[in-house]
Amino acid sequence: MDAKTNDRRELVRGLDLSSTTALVVGTVIGTGVFLKTARMAQAAGTPLLIMLAWIAAGLLSLAGALSLAELGAMLPNAGGEYVYLRTAYGDLPAFLFGWMRLTIGSTGSIASYGAAFATFLSALVPMNSIVMKAAGVTIILFFSAINCLRVTFGGRVQAVLTLAKVLAIATIAGGVFLFAPSATAANLAAPPGVPAWCGFSAFGAAMLSALWAYDGWNNMPMVAGEVRDPGRNIPRALILGMAMVLLVYVVINLAYCYALPVAEIGNANSTLHPTALPVAAKAAQTFLPHFGAAWVAIAAMLSTIGALNGSILSGARVPYAMARDGLFFAVFARLGERSAVPVFAIILQGLWASVLVISATFDQLTECVVFASMIFYASTTVALFVLRKKMPSAPRPYKTLGYPIVPMVFVAVSVWLLINTLRTSPVESVAGLGLIGLGWPFYLWQHRKMARP
């Protein structure tokens, strides 16, 4: 039975342009800007290639956002990519996307933010690994509870956290450029003996790391059913938000490369150097030698909880949309009596994300999330072409800038990155594919259940 027959309450369109833009910026800017440059330095080898990888990943994400903006304005319903995939291809691809978001996409992102929050907190309050995992679980459950309130409250929280994180990042970049005595343009040159080009495979690996920092641009359309004037505000928020993110990332990473030799960046916190300081902390110590690490820890925690809140707010709308269409358990479509938000979906999402925090590391989670998500980013962008032919007369308040070149480039580069990631991170890639594949038998079971009288 369709969940609509059980629950006639509807989502409330309570998010305006500023809240929606804050959701884009706040969900995208999270942990990667403080951590991932170390992995990129290990892969790329030179400051120039690090910066090019950040720019290339940003332009790729912007191309995806431009494509998604047309679909979001055309189909402004809760669920985002799930809605577009279902309209273009039918139930199975849409279900597999929703399954991916519930098992590793949204929940993996939330878990990685919880793990990163605990890592940054440990710089201020020393703790062992068990206490760190408990801290990660606690912050996830706390913001899950906040998002069980009305969406307008969650939107205001997101706007405040986004402003705080952007200002915090700006102080790190400004401190390096204005007050770091050891910062020098000589650090921007390639180290002696390091080749000017690292090869396409290594550059792709660097881009993959940067793409985690840009991941989340697709989240805002998941709450399209709660956006005011969605035909105008969804495209505007996506384009404006991603342009702001690209600018912030270029400036802060230029500051890292200006403050530190590339070898020092490569030795920062990562899987290879798990006990080292994050690259942002090393950069801050060049102008705040005694308090730099503590300041970055505070800034990173602000940034992380902003992304965490945005991911929780948006991610729960996918299982909600699936349940409203009868493709998932009806309980996920139930809205709170007073809050009019999918409370049960938020709670289950938070609980599963807590399990992931306990069972995996930050880098394992992020690489698995990006690989699994890229499959559906490409599929959704192809849906733009499908729906142009399938629904040529449908109202389109916004049409993709640079169509068809921009979406074609996005799809081509996404496919290349997927192939390259299978080679460079096979364990995480296979794990992502396996989790998606597990959704197939569940879909068949649910489909048979739907077919019964």
CA 383 to chain centre: 21
Domain range for 25 is 13-451
Q: How far apart are CA 210 and CA 169, in angstroms?
A: 17
> Are 209 and 40 spatial neighbours (Cβ–Cβ below 8 Å)?
yes
Q: Amino acid letter at 53?
A: A
Q: Classify residue 17: in a domain, yes or no.
A: yes
Q: How far apart are CA 143 and CA 129, in angstroms?
A: 22
pLDDT of residue 215: 85
Overall pTM > 0.85: no
Q: How far apart are CA 441 and CA 434, in angstroms?
A: 12
CA 69 to chain centre: 16
Tokens 């690490």: give the residue. Answer: 293
pLDDT of residue 2: 44
Calculate the alpha carbon distances from 394 to 73, 76, 167, 390, 399 in Å. Answer: 11, 13, 41, 9, 12
- Residues linked to residue 15 through DSSP beta bridges, in sequence order: 227
What is the domain-level CATH number for residue 228? 1.20.1740.10
pLDDT of residue 451: 63
Q: Classify residue 447: in a domain, yes or no.
A: yes
pLDDT of residue 452: 58
* Residue 219, helix vs strand vs coil: coil
Q: Classify residue 253: in a domain, yes or no.
A: yes
Q: Which DSSP symbol is given to 30?
A: S
Low-confidence stretches of the chain (pLDDT < 70) are 1-9, 361-363, 450-453
pLDDT for 130-154, tens place per residue?
A: 999 999 999 999 999 999 988 788 7
Number of domains forming the structure of the chain: 1
